[in-house]
Structure 1
Amino acid sequence: MDLRTSAQDVMRCNLCETAVAQMHCDTCLVNLCTACVGTHFSADLSKPHTIVDFKDRRSTPLYPGCKFHNKQQCTMYCNQCDIPVCPKCIASDQHLGHKVSEILQVVDEKKENITKEQTELNEIIYPTYQDIASDVQNRMSQLEKEYGDLSTAITKHGEDWHREIDNLVKKLKAEVDVMKNTQFQTLQKHLDEINKTMSDIKDEIDSIYLARDSNNISELFCITTKVDRFRNLPQRILPSLPKFTPSRIIGGELRKMFGTLSSSSHSLDKHEAGFSTPLKQLLDEPKTVTSIDTRYTSLYNVVCLNDEKIWTSGIDRTVNLYSINQGTKLKSIRTKSGNLLSDIAVTKSGDLVYIDSNDGTVNIVKNEKIEEVIRLLNWKPHGVCSTSSGDLLVIMYSDDFKETKVVCFSGSTEKQTIQFDDKGKPLYSLPIDLFIGDKFWYVTENRNLDICVSDWGVKAVVVVNQAGKLRFKYTGLTPATKNKPFDPRGITTDSQSHILIADRNNDCVHIIERDGQFLRYLDCGLSLPWGLCTDVNDNLFVAEIQIRQVKKIKYLK
């Protein structure tokens, strides 16, 4: 085997091509054996050769040559003229009185700046584009389902008609397919553009890596990052579904009687708060903005109506509405049954939802009138949240204390049940006896449509994807602020897809990213935190059970 051409061969001298390279010329970027060092020096006496050990190659800075003074290296930098300069430049009248820095100091600052931009691309902008791509794919999946529902509705209506309308049914369904394909093509084109931009971002990240690690200062100063190009996120395409409106079968013109199909469309929307906002980062020092005294016996839950008002509940039969800025109670609503309530939520339209566990109902308050939305048989609801699609997620346990599950409801219709993992094992803890107050579950939906459950029974946060498949379990990070066991209570998410969990034992809130990686603790002097929610501006509201206060905390830039 020829050692010089073997894939396992060591680095050899570039001159003799035989001996192992022990030295390196950082000026010429040539590998040398000890015997060839002198030969390399004598071959070109026009420039200084910097010979270093092979392991230290490319460690010597390659200073730019001066454009005005031949054979001079620019080891300094004129801050006023914003150019590298050599000693003769500094001594000339051209830079008299100018502030001059060592060029290596300027290089370090340059590397620091491009490293920050690289970090922003790598850790914030690129993941945000991933979120956007995921959102487009989710919308395409939702369109697939809803277009399927639309076709089913048309087919069902067609079954009530005679054979002669079959052609009309086929024509309408064909129109649905055309509109569906048109919208899918639009979304697919949008997704392709996003994926192309994501690829460009990866290329930019790779180019920054190469430039940052280069010892060629001239190349470094030629680098111009393209971060500004990627900061402007693509517009969001919001498809508008056609609506099928059936008509009564009374004879006459079939098309008009059978029903009409509205046209499909889509609109463009900027990615703003409520979706993944790319530029918000955690504050170094989170701060409490305000505190609201609720005067409950014990305060459990808090949910934002808007950026000015919050709903609260505790060991009481009422839900109270408070002004955030004034700290005053604006309204009080008593439960319809007179029972204590377990959890509260606010729908997309701003209506209050509350859980009556003892009565087995989920209720909605519209114009101060209470409507029973869901009544469960053999199950007790405990936690509730409103989803981005307008559905309700309800976590519940069975009357015989043997099962716990999350159910997605559209109105009063059960759409999906999440109860077991891929191996058939329960995802959530089970109530063990009649004293169900000793067990607590809370549920929320993340911006990426993951379903997150805070499960006190297993001392964990259980996160599944939209299809109900287990993604991860977060069991706390020790040592926490007080080095006590993780004790999860309320749970919420923000525009960055962060998951925030109240930890009662450690008087803090855990913040993890959407894939379960721990980011930090928030304490801000909290005492027994329980309920959590965030508003549209990513302010965090924490309900403290014993001191009965709601604290508004700013934790994102």
Structure 2
Amino acid sequence: MQHYLVCGTEDCQKNGQFYCNDCHRPLCEQCRDEHLKSPKTKIHEIVLYRYRNQQLPVEKCEIHPKRNVDMFCKECQIPLCSKCSTRKDHHGHKFDDLEEIYTEKYTLQQTEFSKIQKYFLPTTQELKKNIDEDATEVKKVMESIRTSMKAEAKSLKNLVDEVTSENIEQTYTMEKSLLKMLQSQETTYNDYIAYLEKTSDAFQENLSITHHKLLFSKTLKIQPIPETTKPVPPVFTAGTFNKNDVAKLLGKVNVPNTKPEKRKIQPMEAVTTHMKSTEKQLERSKEKSDMKQTLSLSSSVTKVREYSVPGVNSAFHVSVEKSDRLWVSDRSGNLVQTDLQGKQLQRIKTSHGIKGYHTATQDGDLIYTDKDKRVIYRKTTDKKITEFKTGDWRPLSVHSSRINGDILVGMIKQDQHSRVLSVIMDSKVTRYSKAGKELQNIQKDNQGQDLYRKPHYITENINGDICTSDYSKQAVVVVNKSGQHRFSYRGQGSRFCPYGICTDVLGHILVCDTSLNSQSVHLLDQDGGFLSFILSSQQGTTSPCGVCVDDENNLYVGQYDTNTVTVYKYLQ
């Protein structure tokens, strides 16, 4: 393919950057000069190529079929040929060069066409895309509302069951008390009946003696019948509630009284900037695509360098910035930034330990979490700190998306009323926007089973999959960007203890295994297929905990028993 416009002069192959509007052909600089020197062409109009006149399409005159239409009568407003202009009906009329009019109209139409292609069509397609995204968001929000409704209903049902159970238990207690009282009364009357029988025998005995003895015998007196009280059984008072009362308890969906916000339409002036930005993105995408085509797994792993990180006692998690700087955290909550020579640049004291609770963004910001305060912090390159809270949920792990900048957070909810504060009630992965707006919650699989127990390391693959290292589940749990469960990887032995996790430009998943019989880094394909133990004790690796891949495809590995971070090459 020719990569520039060739000069129209015969046998000249130079760049035709000029154009002769009379000859209608491109010219190079040398041929232009010769063209202007020639007596035959020195009066020709030569312009830069982009300012050329468009060549008039050939159209034969109806009156003079051998002549081309090339003039325009301004009074009659019709095109005609040069011979027609000499006719009596055009005597004294003014004429324009039809080619100039055509060029002007062509340029105008081309400009409008360019606007459609570069602005109106892409902008409208972007608005349509926004509508599709809004539709997806509406579905997510409504599904979240339905889930919340079901949870509220389940909670109310549990309370109803609990109150009913307590009430029923109370009836048994009351019944037992009443029966005990009646049993006591029954004993009283049994004793009184025995007394009457004994007294009756005494009367019979007195009646059987002689009359003179009866006259001098003591008259027996009968004790009165003991009084008892009838039990007063409890009365059940039915609750007074109706459907509206239940609706108030469960809540309802309301449409906010908010005026809909108009969609933002990019102004025409931004087209040039947008196009330049798009071109740069395409160039970067092409570079990445070319790199992917040339990269492959090496037959062996090569150690590039290693260095000690001051200020930490171990390297449980590693985050690499684009600026060739590194964040490393240890088990004691020390979070340290170093350069690649191991020089300490910053240090932050946190409440975290053996979790993947920090991440570096593409902009060079640091995002880290505080599980006790339930807060996610963003520290910018100019050291300004912003934060947003996570409510009742304790954030454990965090990852900044390389695709769209979203923040992925692995979180747990603990029972605050339990004597054992470590009891985990629920676990989930939440997606936030850069500004901290909650976008997505991932908790259950398609069968309604919990996906996570303790998601303490998290990352994202090139296809949008969310990959979570769950130590308590002894598995790497992978869902797609919509939150649908794709697969769970459970290691290659009897026990799998996953810690740090990351992905690379080829879509591989790399995860640390700290189990005693393994202590290695597993390499998986994008679908969870085991490829190899990329690092093991044979390479001198012991207890790998943190892994990260930089933009140069170097693998950084941190270990819990040392503050040394080792860098490897595993792609070629």
TM-score between the two structures when normalised by the length of structure 2: 0.49
Q: 1:457 to 1:271 in 2, by over 3 A?
A: farther
Relative to 1, partners in 2 of residues 1:282 and 1:470: Cα closer, same or farther, differing over 3 Å? same
Cross-structure match for 1:465: 480
Residue in 2 aligned with 1:302?
A: 318
| Pairs within 5 Å for 1:360-375 | 360-367=374-381, 369=383, 371-375=385-389
Q: Structure 2 vs 1, CA of residues 275 and 545 (structure 1 numbering), >3 Å: closer, same or farther?
A: farther
Q: Is 1:551 matched up with 2:566?
A: yes
Counterpart CA distance in 2 for 1:386 and 1:142 is 24
> What is the alpha-carbon distance in structure 1 between the residues aligned to residue 447 and residue 259 of structure 2?
44
Matches within 5 A, 1:254-293: 266-267=278-279, 268-269=282-283, 270-273=285-288, 277-293=292-308
Cα contact 2:322–2:551 (8 A) shared by 1: yes
- For residues 453-508 of structure 1, the C-alpha deviation after alignment (integer angstroms, 9 at most, x for no partner) is 01111111111111110111111124xxxxx6221100000000000001112221
Alignment of 1:447 onto 2:467: no
Q: Quick one: which of 414, 420, 425 aligns to 1:402? A: 425
Q: Contact (CA 8 Å) 2:555, 2:569: kept in 1 or not?
A: yes
Quick one: distance in 2 between partners of 1:509 and 1:461?
13
Change (3 A) 1:307 1:261: closer
Q: Percent identity?
A: 29
Counterpart contact for 2:374–2:391, Cα < 8 Å = yes
Counterpart CA distance in 2 for 1:383 and 1:397 is 10
Q: What's the C-alpha RMSD, in Å, of the aligned pairs? A: 3.4
> 2 CA distance for matches of 1:286 and 1:514?
20
Deviations 1:65-86 (A, max 9, x none): xxxxxxxxxxxxxxxxxxxxxx
Is the CA contact 1:385–1:445 (under 8 Å) kept in the aligned structure 2?
yes
- Whole-angstrom distance in 1 between the partners of 2:496 and 2:291: 28
Q: Which residue of 2 aligns with 1:522?
A: 534
1:351 pairs with 2:361: no
- What letter matches 1:501 in structure 2? V
Give 1:318 shift. 3.8
Contact 2:445 2:484 in 1 (8 A): yes
Is the CA contact (8 Å cut-off) linking 2:554 and 2:567 kept in structure 1?
yes
| Aligned partners of 2:549 and 2:556 also within 8 Å | yes
Distance in 2 (CA, whole Å) between partners of 1:358 and 1:368 is: 26
Matched residue, 2:448: 424
Other-structure match for 1:534: 549
AA matched with 1:350: G
Which amino acid in structure 2 is aligned with residue 294 of structure 1? V
Point out where structure 1 has 5 or more consecutive residues left out of the alignment.
1-138, 162-168, 174-242, 246-258, 431-439, 479-483
1:25-64 alignment to 2 at 5 Å? none
Q: Which residue of 2 aligns with 1:496?
A: 506
Summarize deviations over 1:237-257 as a string: whole Å, max 9, x none.
xxxxxx448xxxxxxxxxxxx
Partners of 2:425 and 2:289 lie apart in 1 by 37
Count of matched residue pairs: 306
Distance of 1:275 and 1:417 partners within structure 2: 35
How far apart are residue 368 of structure 1 and its match?
5.1
- Contact 1:361-1:372 at 8 Å conserved across structures: no
Q: Distance in 2 between matches of 1:351 and 1:275?
A: 28
Amino acid at match of 2:425: K
- Equivalent position amino acid for 2:318 in 1: V
Deviations 1:364-411 (A, max 9, x none): 111453524221221100000001201100000002221100000012
Q: Which of 497, 508, 523 is equivalent to 1:511?
A: 523
- Contact 1:454 / 1:462 at 8 angstroms: preserved in 2? yes
SS of 2:522's partner is strand
C-alpha spacing 1:262/1:300, structure 2 compared with 1 (3 Å): same
Contact conserved, 2:546 with 2:559, CA < 8 A, in 1?
yes
Q: Does 1:383 align with 2:397?
A: yes
1:412 to 396, 414, 436: 436
Q: Contact between 2:323 and 2:364, CA under 8 Å: does it hold in 1?
A: no
Give structure 2 stretches of 5+ with no counterpart. Answer: 1-125, 139-254, 416-423
Contact persistence 1:307–1:536 (CA under 8 A): no
Distance 1:509 1:359, change over 3 A: same
Q: Find the structure with the greater CA-based Rg.
A: 2
SS of 2:472 mapped into structure 1: helix
Checking the alignment, whether the CA contact within 8 Å between 1:463 and 1:472 is kept in structure 2 is yes
Counterpart residue identity of residue 297, structure 1? N
Instruction: Report the TM-score, using the length of structure 1 for normalisation.
Output: 0.50
Q: Taking structure 1 as reference, are residues 500 and 275 closer, same or farther at Cα in structure 2, changes over 3 Å only?
A: farther
CA distance in 2, matches of 1:160, 1:426: 38
Change (3 A) 1:395 1:147: closer
